Amino acid sequence: MASLSNKPILILACIVGLCLLLGSAELQRLEQPAKPDGSLSFLVVGDWGRKGTYNQSQVAFQMGKVGETLDIDFVISVGDNFYDDGLTGIDDPAFDQSFSNIYTAQSLQKQWYTVLGNHDYRGDVLAQLNPILSKMDTRWLCLRSFILNAEIAEFFFVDTTPFVDKYFTHPGHSKYDWRGVLPRQEYLSNLLKDVDSALRESSAKWKIVVGHHTIRSAGHHGDTEELVSELLPILKANNVDLYINGHDHCLQHISSTYGQLQFLTSGGGSKAWRGDINWVNPDVMKFYYDGQGFMSVQMTEAHVDFAFYDLFGNVLHKWTVNKELHPAM
């Protein structure tokens, strides 16, 4: 079991988890201290939970090495944490088999901030939200939607699965656990209002939105049209800098034609879809890799540096976004 020194955050996480289990509409706020020099560094991984198979263990090993080099402050998981159908309950051995026993490097014994993916909704969704899991492994913190204040940046984690129509209208053989989401339109309306309000009120130097589903993607799933129509206008209106997601099992960087918004996919935590590319626009497509890997982000007030790594630890792509420290009035 991992041990963390920041007990107030863990206690708050348990309270937050209980509130969400009971049904809370308001976005919860958590605090993540930056380094003494004001900088932040973290890793992003998604679509990973396969009990070490499909090179999940190898990706985890490289994450540990990069995490040590960068002295990371935390890890973000962008969903599909447990395949194929989430957890069966809080006592499901898959929690240890796919998480605790896989990400064992010392550098990864930091807080994991986690959102749900569509596969997680196909199991006992409340199990992943249950604060008991945080007692079993203190790194684990999974909420539907929440805000993380990290001093120079604010992260807005958004529960994207309930936006996707087909999970409701054409679920096929899959059974989704919609407890806490129904009535759906009320849930989505409140969530969009809360995200818009929080982004508008934010004075953070960097605004980063995190969700499971893609907004822009050249991968198997492509763009998530419901997010393009409902969430993207809010990101644009509130000058969001990065949208980070998983869902497509690839690594990719797509720039926008408006402002500095960058779309970053880190869905290569285990099984990847080699050769599965739907769309490439050279004007906005900065990088696409249809294999396994993860992403790192290093931040100061003046710039954000992000990089993508394959399962051998090779840097495949890196990019810097700059911002004026004192913009003109």
The secondary structure of 265-311 as a DSSP string is EE--SS---TT------TTTEEEEE-S-EEEEEEE-SSEEEEEEEET
Mean pLDDT, the chain, integer: 92
Feature table: binding site for Fe cation: 47, 80, 83, 118, 212, 247, 249
Task: Identify whether the C-beta of residue 220 lies closer than 8 Å to the C-beta of residue 252.
Answer: no
CA distances from 125 to 35, 104, 151, 196 (A): 34, 25, 31, 25
Residues with catalytic function? 221
Residue 5 has pLDDT above 60, yes or no: no
Task: Identify whether the C-beta of residue 38 lies closer than 8 Å to the C-beta of residue 203.
Answer: no
What amino acid is encoded at 180 in this protein?
G
Confidence of residue 14 (pLDDT cuts 50, 70, 90): very low
Task: Identify whether the C-beta of residue 300 lies closer than 8 Å to the C-beta of residue 318.
Answer: no
pLDDT of residue 282: 75
pLDDT of residue 3: 45
Q: How far apart are CA 64 and CA 58, in angstroms?
A: 10
Q: Which whole number is the average pLDDT over 299-316?
A: 98
Task: Identify whether the C-beta of residue 10 lies closer than 8 Å to the C-beta of residue 138.
Answer: yes
CA-based Rg of the chain, rounded to a whole angstrom? 18
Percent of the chain past pLDDT 90, that is, above it, reads 86
pLDDT of residue 7: 40
Q: How far apart are CA 180 and CA 178, in angstroms?
A: 6
Predicted confidence (pLDDT) per residue in 280-304, tens digit: 677 899 999 999 999 999 999 999 9
Confidence of residue 17 (pLDDT cuts 50, 70, 90): very low
Feature table: binding site: 47, 80, 83, 118, 212, 247, 249
Predicted confidence (pLDDT) per residue in 150-174, tens digit: 999 999 999 999 999 999 999 999 9
Task: Identify whether the C-beta of residue 17 lies closer than 8 Å to the C-beta of residue 135.
Answer: no
Greater confidence, 3 or 119? 119
